[in-house]
Amino acid sequence: MKEKIVSSTAVLREAWQAHGDGLVYPCSFGGESSVLLDLIHRAELPIQVLTLDTGRLPQATYDFIDEVRRYYAMDVRIVFPDYREVETMLLQYGPNLFLASAELRKHCCEIRKVHPLQRVLKDKTAWITGRRREQSKGREHIQVRESDNVYGLIKYNPLLDWSWEEIRQYIDGHDIPYNHLLDQHYVSIGCECCTRAITVGEDPRAGRWWWENEDTLAECGLHVTSIRRGSGENEQGEGI
Ligand code: SF4
């Protein structure tokens, strides 16, 4: 664990030194976020932290954001979708469009998450994610530093080799703020309506869009690859 803390901190420092204000951390405020925020704080790195407020986040996530702002005296930029796009989408398809089809679910993710992220990454050169190799087979190949073909940026994955147990161990051992949905067996946390707890032995990503057919492409579009859920290849966003 100590070695992982040292090497993850070194990656964060390297990213900051290489990119300065061009670096941003779009934080999902899930489990990995606690570790990254704490490492950033301890290393005194003035990395810009932001989160995408889709308008449908769980109350526990808002509570966690508030706690982080107080505990670390940290600015967290909260980024919203374009209200005109949301209004048009709701007028056309209604508020629960994500239940109607995989296409409409992706459309909702596109409007509420992908477009705002594209907006904030426009002037950036690099971003940090909380992706880990063990999250899915589709993530086994990712590297600590990657070229992001979607956004044309460098992507840093400082927690790549951390296990879920180590994430929990770090949170509990350092007594730091965390999303209390973790205590209810939520592993991957996104919008309230699209996130559920998982049971023992379930894939960590099984708590997202669980109503969709196993053969449906399950992706939110925040990261490069979209791979088939349930087929042993699974690649989605960090949990935003
Ligand atoms: S996770 Fe659900 S509510 Fe959130 S943006 Fe995607 S489809 Fe919409």
Using the atom order of ligand 1, give the atom closest to the CA of residue 98.
7
Does 228 have pLDDT greater than 70? no
State the average pLDDT over residues 93-116: 95
Q: How many C-beta atoms lie closer than 10 Å to residue 133's C-beta? A: 17
Pocket of ligand 1 (CB under 6 A): 54, 56, 98, 105, 108-109, 112-113, 190-191, 193-194, 220
Backbone angles phi, psi at 227, to 5 degrees: -125, 160
Domains of the chain by range and CATH? Answer: 2-182 (3.40.50.620)
Ligand 1: atom nearest CA of 220 is 6
Of the listed 108, 109, 191, 220, which one is catalytic? 220
Identify the band that residue 134 occupies on the pLDDT scale cut at 50, 70 and 90.
confident
Q: In angstroms, how far is CA 47 from the centroid of its own chain?
A: 16
DSSP 149: T
Question: Hey, what amino acid is at 147?
Answer: S
Whole-number Å distance between alpha carbons of 190 and 195: 6
In the beta sheet, which residues pair with residue 48? 24
Ligand 1: centre distance to CA 202 (Å): 21
The reported pTM is 0.87
Asked whether residue 139 carries a pLDDT value surpassing 60, the answer given is yes
d(CA 18, CA 237): 24
pLDDT at residue 34 is higher than 80: yes
**Ligand 1: centre distance to CA 99 (Å):** 10
Per-residue pLDDT for 222 more than 70?
Answer: no
DSSP 8-state code for residue 232: T
Q: Whose CA is nearest to atom 8 of ligand 1?
A: 108
Query: How remote is the CA of residue 92 from the centroid of ligand 1, in Å?
Result: 16
Does the annotation count 220 as an active-site position? yes
